Structure 1
């Protein structure tokens, strides 16, 4: 697991719970310790809710921390990258990871919108690469979106499907295209909800409740944006705006909130106010 932020820590947690030995890569000892704390907190919360079949500390023993991808074992079966949504950074990380592991290793990116074909540019074995898009919060989410490019081999796709099943989750396989299936639909709904809020159609709670009760969405589009991060959603919207046109143009409200640092749950304020967790 390369990257131990909220998503990376969640992915590391679910693999460790499933019995895998997990190596988590972070850039320095301080961020590595913070990543370990995120995994430990997630495990203890799962234990409190009765969702673990063994002690949280026993699961945590399957987690190893390193500060560079060169510390990955050549015997690694799968590398999942979950660094920030910056294509040049992801390309560098994936290429470095490929150099550290064996030819049998499958590489995957947790990107929610960047081109899988583009991210494969720096790889020697693009047939072993695909997107594995997990959802936040990873332990509770049931879906992993698998994104294949024209270069992705059948063996890598089927291995990824097997891993998803082993996590107790379900997959959908989609072709590499801007926003894939989930981000494209989810972002479009979220942007329209923001425009409705700008226009005074209803307040944030009412807009979300309409989708939760009227359409059985487990979470409304504005609360979901807070959970993902307004900065993350803005970056995805800008990418889709460039690739697909004006229907993905970010509303002024979103830009203003990001400029003020109102980034959602991680900042304590977004479209809603959040208590520290």
Structure 2
């Protein structure tokens, strides 16, 4: 399959759309922490990460449409493909840290699988994103490691891992009827999502091993559940998040990203 064919393939578009929606939702949610972080360093770090994730979303949307604003903000809720984990508000800092670690660990693996994509523009976006993801992951891993050495850190964070892990697995689901093997065969991805998920789980297990904790991993599935984010089912938090996203457009319809 040629590069042109890959760039126009519906399955490749669905893969990119789901990733872009994840980045959009996470970036928007992290923006809430601007000026309200628990201490100055975290305020600055989460603000920077929010900007990076929104930048990644914009770059991915730009692969799919010339009208980035319409694609990002003009769809109906059922047309979004974001994983439910990314839609959570996470207004508690512990919740934000746990999602930050789970998401950015997954994100690094997902980007790496696209870095040598036969869709050349997608590969270029992935390589740029990977450079930023390294700092995101260092931030999340460093904080988590230090906190899991303390009794209070374990008591607050480990239950959140048990709560978030089932939702986080959806990050490695593809939208319905996407041909995972076909995406690998066409060179869009270098590895199947099932292999990516195995690597991610091992990374999370290793991080939690220092606290003697083993999360309960749900079984892998080939197709997303009907109510899942990948299938168009929105979480109870999406409406408020989307209203936040389009707040500027509701004031000035001529505004652009």
TM-score (norm 1): 0.29
Which one has the bigger helix percentage?
A: 2
Taking structure 2 as the reference length, the TM-score comes to 0.30
Please identify the structure whose Cα radius of gyration is greater: 1
